[in-house]
Amino acid sequence: MSITPRDPFDALMPLREAMSRLFEESFVTPRFEMLTTHSFPLDVYESKDKKQYVIEASIAGFKPNEIHVTAEENVVRIHASRKEEKEEKERDTYIRHERYTNEVDRTVSLPTRINADKIQASYESGVLTLQVPKVEEVKAKQIPIKVKETTIPQ
> Any idea which of 42-46, 90-94, 146-150 has the lowest mean pLDDT?
90-94
pLDDT tens digits along 74-123: 999 999 988 765 554 566 777 776 666 678 889 999 999 999 999 999 99
CATH number for the domain formed by residue range(s) 40-85+95-133: 2.60.40.790
pLDDT at 70: 95
Q: Is the pLDDT of residue 129 over 90?
A: yes
Is 0.85 topped by the overall pTM? Answer: no
pLDDT score, position 7: 64
Q: How far apart are CA 52 and CA 112, in angstroms?
A: 10
Parallel, antiparallel or unpaired: strands 120-124 and 127-133: antiparallel
For the chain, which residues make up each domain, given as ranges? 40-85+95-133
